[in-house]
Amino acid sequence: MAATGTTASGESAYYVTTPIYYVNDAPHLGHAYTTVAGDVLTRWHRQRGEKVWYLTGTDEHGQKVMRTAEANGVTPQEWCDKLVEDAWKPLWEHLQIANDDFIRTTEPRHTDRVQEFVQDLYEKGEIYKGGYEGPYCVACEEYKSPGDLLEGDLCPIHKRPVEWLKEENYFFRLSAYGERLLEFYERNPDFIRPASARNEVVSFVKQGLQDLSISRSTFDWGVPIPWDTKHVIYVWIDALLNYATAVGYGSDQEKFDATWPANIHLVGKDILRFHAVIWPAMLMANGLSLPRGVFANGWLMVGGEKMSKSNLTGISPRELTEHFGVDAYRYYFLRAIPFGQDGSFSWEDFSARYTSELANDFGNLASRVAAMVGKYFEGTLPEATDAGPAEQAIADGLAAAAAQADTLIGDNLDFSAGIGAIFEFVKQVNGYLSDQAPWKVAKDESPEGQARLATILYTAAESLRAIAVLLHPVMPGTSAKLWASLGAEPHLGALADQRIADVATWGGLPAGAQVVKGEILFPRLENA
């Protein structure tokens, strides 16, 4: 199912999800990384002219939230409300995330449907009552895997003896789905990407699946099991189902049909398995169609170390955006780290890329072109009447960059290479200007000389028109500034309405456009 061309009316939307993030803490760089990636992907598809639905949200049930709320002297719901409204939603707005919806697992539109879903599975015999027993550490307040225990049945964290506890749970018959899942992976080799993630999941499933406990009765901050309200649904069924409940499952069939299933579930690799194994099995059990793909992104490493809870808080998204700006932030992580791999980043590397790629190559190009159109043509874009091989090379370069970026970003989720292709074109245009040296041509006042000067500057400005469009999904704010600087809107309409398919069609920006040298796109960094 390669995504090609535009979506005909009636077909379901290009539907992308982020994980629903656990609201125990404020959002950190890892959350923002996944969310920005999804935003760029969905913005790209919108500019392909497709119907798009981009969903994010929060996971609000569970023991940790309950405890944190208690520790802060508020109810769990109050705690969630506060974090969502004060921390999560504001950050997404700040980062220019254009999500179409924001689902919270405490909303009735979710909890009601979750109850119906488990009730349905129960009636189908997919859920049964069983017991879980195992070594339990009182200090951790959780069960341990027998394999994790130290010599003498000691908790590996607290070094104290565990107790053997037994608890009544409801179980989902996950074990019955191993073969069907393997068959599904086989038939849909791109279901799990990247390939390394796929291999891990396949080998995991081949080891055999056990049934999954889906309820807890030891705490009550969750969705009650409808037929046995002493139990609340435990994490997976509750959390994963958000992808369905948010788009009208069980409540708005029309919307559901127009959206389901997801084209891409973006996940951190820590929760890959739940999305690649449990989630499809749940859907199989209930007879819903399966998502087209799950894409696992890697860890962000700081100074070679995995970002953990402790050092994640070391740098917050806002610290970076305050220094580098929102657009540079969106750009940096996707450009510097191949999506799907772990990647190390540093303040120094961010600074280096900002200066070299954004300020020097891109920002300065926009600046010099606008300055020359202003200086030599009073800001009115001249007509290109004397185009030759050099101009054709630019047009060809643009076509190549647009085609590559479209495949790499829109289909492969290879943001790094896709952005790289666009920036190759930026460099090509800089080289073109150096070769043509319009500031020298300007001294030739003959009609021929002026025709060349006009052609050169038109070519550069028209290139910037395309660059603004191609970079819009990645850096919406900066692209809008550039769009305004080129005087494009009165002739071409809104930047967001520009189509990827048309971006390389030469001559879009008409002569006569009013080019103004706007503000500097990427100011030089203070004490960089």
Q: Which of residues 278-317 bind RNA (CB under 7 A)?
A: 299, 304, 306, 309
Assess whether 110 carries a catalytic annotation. Answer: no
Looking at 119, 344, 407, 514, which residue binds RNA (CB under 7 A)?
344
Question: What secondary structure does DSSP assign to 136-149, as a single string?
Answer: EETTTTEE--GGGP
Q: Is 496 helix (H, G, I), strand (E, B) or coil?
A: helix
**80 belongs to the catalytic site:** no
Q: Which of residues 36-75 bind RNA (CB under 7 A)?
A: 59, 62-64
Select 138 or 520, whichever has its Cβ closest to RNA: 520
Q: 45, 61, 137, 269: which one is catalytic?
A: 137
Least distance to RNA from the beta carbon of 456, Å? 10
Nearest approach, Cβ of residue 12 and RNA (Å):
26
- Closest among 365, 373, 366, 400 to 456, alpha carbons compared: 373
Nearest to 288 by CA among 117, 171, 126: 117
Interface with RNA in residues 416-455 (CB under 7 A): 427, 430-431, 433-435, 437-440
C-alpha to C-alpha distance for 240 and 43, rounded to whole angstroms: 24
Active site residue 491: no
Helix H or strand E segment including 346:
none
Q: Kindly state whether residue 123 participates in binding RNA, applying the rule CB under 7 A.
A: no
Task: Determine, following the binding rule CB under 7 A, whether residue 354 of this chain makes contact with RNA.
Answer: no
**Long-range Cβ pairs for the range 30-34 (8 Å, 24+):** 30/268, 30/299, 30/300, 30/307, 30/312, 32/91, 32/95, 32/317, 33/297, 33/300, 33/333, 34/266, 34/267, 34/268, 34/297
Q: Does 141 bind RNA (CB under 7 A)?
A: no
For RNA, which is the closer residue by CB, 359 or 492?
Answer: 359
> Residue 101 corresponds to which tokens in the numbers above?
């919806």
158 is in an annotated binding site: yes
Q: Extract the tokens encoding 268.
A: 């951190």
Rounded to a whole number of angstroms, the minimum distance from the CB of residue 451 to RNA is: 18
Residue 166's H or E segment, with its range, is strand 163-172
Query: Does residue 176 touch RNA according to CB under 7 A?
Result: no
Handedness of CA 246, 249, 251, 253 (dihedral sign): positive
Q: Does 319 bind RNA (CB under 7 A)?
A: no
Judge whether 230 counts as a catalytic residue.
no
| Shortest distance, position 441 Cβ to RNA, whole Å | 10
Supply the Cα-derived Rg of the chain in whole angstroms: 27
Residues 322-354 as b or e (16 or more Cβ within 10 Å = b)? ebbbbbbbbbbbbbbbbbbeebbbeeeebbebb
382 lines the binding site for RNA (CB under 7 A) = no
Range list of H helices, 22-106: 29-47, 63-71, 76-83, 89-94
Considering the candidates 155, 231, 269, 275, report the single residue annotated as catalytic.
155
Stretches 45-53, 96-104, 245-253, 338-346: which one binds RNA (CB under 7 A)? 338-346
Cis peptide before 189 (omega within 30 of 0): no
CB 100, min distance to RNA, A: 22
Instruction: Identify the active-site residue in 159, 166, 206, 306.
Output: 306
- Rounded least distance, CB 170 to RNA, Å: 11
Question: Least distance from C-beta 518 to RNA, angstroms?
Answer: 10
Closest alpha carbon to 121 in 277, 255, 288: 288
Reply yes or no on whether 472 is catalytic: no
Q: Binding residues for RNA, how many (CB under 7 A)? A: 77
Which residue out of 124, 158, 230, 440 is catalytically annotated? Answer: 158
187/309 with CB nearer RNA: 309
Among 368, 372, 391, CA closest to 380? 372
Please name which of 7, 5, 8, 12 lies closest in space to residue 291, comparing C-alpha atoms.
12
Residue 139 as a binder of RNA (CB under 7 A): the answer is no
Paired strand residues for 193: 295
Q: What is the DSSP secondary structure assignment for residue 495, as one 8-state letter?
A: G
Name which of residues 227 to 256 contact RNA (CB under 7 A): 234-235, 239
Minimum CB separation from RNA for residue 423, in Å?
Answer: 9
Residue 125 engages RNA in binding (rule: CB under 7 A): no
The residue annotated as part of the active site, out of 64, 82, 129, 140, is 140
Q: How far apart are CA 132 and CA 139, in angstroms?
A: 19
The verdict on 500 binding RNA (CB under 7 A) reads no
Q: Is 209 an interacting residue with respect to RNA (CB under 7 A)?
A: yes
Interaction residues for RNA, span 189-208 (CB under 7 A): 196, 199-200, 203-204, 207-208
The 360-379 site mask, x for binding RNA (CB under 7 A), equals: xxxxx-xxx--xx--x----
State the CB neighbour count (10 A cutoff) for residue 490: 10
265 is a catalytic site residue:
no
Binding of RNA by 213 (CB under 7 A): yes
Is 61 annotated to bind a ligand? Reply is no
Task: Give the count of alpha carbons within 13 A of 449, CB side only.
Answer: 11
Q: Which of residues 13-32 bind RNA (CB under 7 A)?
A: 19, 21-22, 24-25
Was 80 annotated as part of a binding site?
Answer: no
List binding-site positions for Zn(2+).
137, 140, 155, 158
User: Catalytic positions, please?
Assistant: 28, 31, 137, 140, 155, 158, 306, 309
List binding-site positions.
137, 140, 155, 158
